[in-house]
Chain A
Amino acid sequence: MLSLNELWFILVAVLFIGFFFLEGFDFGVGMATGILAKNDTERRVLINAIGPFWDGNEVWLLTAGGAIFAAFPNWYATMFSGYYTPLVVLLLALIARGVAFEFRGKVQDDRWKKTWDVCIFIGSLLPPFLLGVVFAGFMKGLPIDGQMEMRAGLFDMVNWYTLVGGITVTVLCFVHGLLFTVLRTEGELQNKARKLAKQMLYPLAALLALTGIATYFATDIFEAHGAVLSVLALLGLAAFLLAGYFLSRERDGWAFGMTGAVIALAIVGVFAGLFPNVMISSIDTAFNLTIHNAASGHYSLKVMTIVAVSLLPFVLGYQIWSYFVFHKRVHEKSHLEY
């Protein structure tokens, strides 16, 4: 039987999977507005393709943060205070991106729009990169002392391993977003997105392989969970190859599902690799934060479990319904809100 601590560890992982799967594609579409789109109309089509969804997607991150606060307060405290500066940058990026969607279409002026387009592009590029860096740091280990305080210098947070992690997550989100674009648009833009997605599969393959190998050498998570991680890696490889296959057959929905599966498996890999730790101390393994020493009391976890189990089905229900409501493709003759 699962302990409540284990259950909450899994729930946090589920919230991050939801976040990277969903906001992953709208980050990717945000990047595409700067790379794929050639003119204002194409940018508007792209932004409107994620228009009804991006705000709801972002809530997955907020909920993950809230869940960590409630279930693992020490993890929340160590991570948020320790990663102070990257989080400030992350917040600035999310703030700029969020208002940019709302503001860009409100004034008909080229410079005005270009300014907010830059915010959308950078605001979509930076968060997956920074979160990739943060998650890679969890696995590699950070200077966490006996009081659970993380006092990390720049190079504890940013080094070759965490950079590889950050870039891989960014490119993965980009390809995922391109496939969402293929699903939600038509005509010229859709063709361009499909073509670029195909081209991007090769660098993505190289990055994913590099991350896997680097993780094997730079972290010790394979020592504890080698078998599980190898299975996950094989599943990930299969999902990636299927994404390429479906893309070439123009079975776009399946291809999108497969990049989503790669994202989900990557997050599962991170969490399975860490278990039962949530953050690894590079000073002494005795200082690792675990699902036990970082957690709330039993009563709190029980209350939160009841709340989460009763609310999550509704959340999933109406979020899925919202995708159903807006399942039709967006094109330049559509009603463009932004």
Chain B
Amino acid sequence: MDPLVLARIQFAATTIFHFFFVPMSIGLVFMIAVMETMYVVKGKEVYKTMAKFWGKLFLINFAVGVVTGILQEFQFGMNWSDYSRFVGDVFGAPLAIEALAAFFLESTFMGIWIFGWDRLSKKVHLLSIWLVCLGTTLSALWILAANSFMQHPVGFEVNNGRAEMNDFFALIANGQLWVEFPHTVLGALATGSFLICGISAYKMLKKKDYAFFKSSFKIAVIVALLSSFLTAIFGHQQAQYLVETQPMKMAASEGLWGKSGDPAPWTVVAAIDPKTKENKFEIKIPYLLSFLSYSKLNGEVKGMNELQAEYTQKYGEGNYIPPVRTTFWSFRIMVAAGSLMILFAAYGLYLWMRKKMDRPNKGYLRLMLFGISLPYIANTSGWIMTEFGRQPWTVFGLMTTADSVSPNVTAGQLLFSIIAFCAIYTVLAVVMVFLWVKVIKQGPYAKDHSDDEHSTDPFGKEGYHAVS
């Protein structure tokens, strides 16, 4: 098989897998920090139990996120060495800063948080979880700064056959970053809060620790509504930015071959045929694409055929049309999942406001259990749309994916590593789900085995008495 195809499969598979865990980590750690803050402010033991229970789930998830992240950093050099040579000067900087500014912070304070419950004052312990939260967010900021450069390259000039940084601040001020970062981080908060809502709903259905899960649900549903609504707002911003900087991705995500006409209608569904470059069937909503693109009810959007002609003139012969059906459908799946999330969370808040949460509404609770899957669907399809939509480029307008791959890595080596990583990732996923189910079944008041038979902490007061 072609090493390029294999390298792409590996990148897609490992990145998508890694990105199941990252938004969950960012979202959960925020929720835990909020719960621990309520514990410190209100002094109620139940909030501490909450932070610890959700913390247990978070830690299992965090471990998988961290270990799969190591591969992400190494993969650029292993599979995409020509890419690394060409853009290392610009792209390497945010990655190095991510490690220096974010990874150290989150991993060091994570250790302090886990082992520090009885060793630190309440406030210092609380500070440590907020620092983990800051670390995960900074990590997202820097990795997205690197990704934004690939979507919309700025702050560089091409010298000696490679991209060299000439303006670091342009890299940070990249407009792409400031639509992508809030969209991604808010999506992550939605992921974490929907997870807590869903699991709480399940336990409320089972009538286990009802009060505990009801208050977890309440905290989470507010965050869920706010974050999923704001994610959509920033998604809209991102679409507008896309029209300016990557019109081809926009056209592909609309399945738009010719000109849209003015005002432009939005295509809800279409039967796209990339071979004949036409849509056999489509349903359209008038005005909506103009609104999505420009926030007003008129304005035309360029189609793929026109852009292909423009790009051929600018970059030379080649196919500049990304995989249209993948881009088109992943966009729609993301939007659909996101819309459902807003509706689900809004209805939950409505029930709560009307004080109907005390009488369990079984239908709604079941819906929220299913709702756990929505952010994952949205995150994954959003990521697929962004990355597939950029093809054939790795760095838009500068370097193609075909030119990026390592010339000295063989198909055999790639096949070996794909099989190895997919195998170990599958095991991780199975074990993780198994452990999650176990922790959820045990509930928040289960006897913690880590404080088991010798359950005396020598650092706490009671520990000294027990030992002496």
Interface residues of A (CB under 8 A from B): 51-56, 58-59, 62-63, 65-67, 69-74, 76-82, 84-85, 87-88, 91-92, 94-96, 98-99, 101-103, 105-108, 147-151, 296-297, 299-300, 303-304, 307-308, 311-312, 315, 318-319, 322, 325-326, 328, 331-338
B254 in the interface (beta carbon within 8 A): no
B60 touches A303 (CB 8 A): no
The answer to whether B111 touches A52 (Cβ under 8 A) is: yes
Which of B59, B96, B168, B449 meets A67, CB within 8 Å? B96
Residues of B within 8 A of A76 (CB): 76-77, 84, 88, 92
Q: Is B173 an interface residue (CB 8 A)?
A: no
A332 contacts which chain B residues (CB < 8 A)? Answer: 454
Residues of chain B within 8 A of A315, CB atoms compared:
100, 104
Tell whether A338 pairs with B73 under 8 Å between CB atoms, given A311-B101, A322-B112: no
A33 to chain B, nearest CB (A): 17
Complex A-B, nearest 5 residue pairs according to Cβ-Cβ distance, in ascending order: A73-B88, A80-B77, A70-B92, A66-B96, A69-B92
Contact of A66 among B82, B92, B164 (CB under 8 A): B92
Within 8 Å CB of B112, what residues of A?
Answer: 52, 322, 325
B104 contacts A319, C-beta separation under 8 Å: yes
- The docked-state distance in angstroms from the alpha carbon of A91 to that of B111 is 22
Q: Report Cα–Cα, A116/B48, bound state, in Å.
A: 30
A/B interface sample: 6 pairs, CB < 8 A: A76-B88, A84-B413, A322-B111, A328-B459, A334-B459, A337-B115
Question: B397 to nearest A CB, angstroms?
Answer: 20
B interface, CB within 8 angstroms of A: 59-60, 63-64, 66-68, 70-71, 73-74, 76-79, 81-82, 84-85, 87-93, 95-101, 103-105, 107-112, 114-116, 118-120, 159, 164-166, 168, 406-409, 413, 416-417, 420-421, 424, 428, 431, 435, 438-439, 449-451, 454-460, 463, 466-467
B92 near A71: Cβ-Cβ < 8 Å = yes
B96, B110, B168, B463 interface centre (most CB from chain A within 10 Å): B96
Residues on the A chain within 8 Å of B457, using CB: 334-335
Residue of B nearest to A48 (CB): B115
Q: Residues of A contacting B451 with CB < 8 Å? A: 335
Provide the residues of chain B in CB contact with A98, threshold 8 Å: 63, 66-67, 70
Q: Which residue of B lies closest to A303 (CB)?
A: B168
Residues B420 and A88 in contact, CB atoms below 8 Å apart: yes
- Could you tell me the dominant secondary structure of chain B's interface residues? helix
Give the complex CA separation of A335 and B67 in angstroms.
Answer: 25
Closest to B168 in A: A303
A98 to B428, CA, bound (A): 11
Give every chain A residue within 8 A of B79 (Cβ-Cβ): 81
**A95-B71 in contact (CB<8A):** yes
Q: Chain A nearest CB: distance from B145 CB in Å? A: 12
Chain B residues lying within 8 Å of A299, measured Cβ to Cβ, are 164-166, 168
A54–B463 Cα distance when bound, in Å, is 26
Instruction: Give complex CA distance A70, B85 in Å.
Output: 10
In the complex, the answer to whether B435 meets A103 with C-beta atoms within 8 Å is yes
Contacts of B416 on A, CB cut-off 8 Å?
A: 85, 88
Q: Are A300 and B165 in contact (CB under 8 A)?
A: yes
Besides the known contacts A51-B111, A62-B103, A66-B99, 14 further A-B residue pairs in the complex with CB atoms under 8 A apart: A52-B114, A58-B70, A73-B84, A79-B77, A85-B417, A88-B420, A92-B421, A95-B70, A296-B88, A296-B164, A300-B90, A303-B168, A325-B112, A333-B456
The CA-CA distance from A299 to B424 in the complex, in Å, is: 41
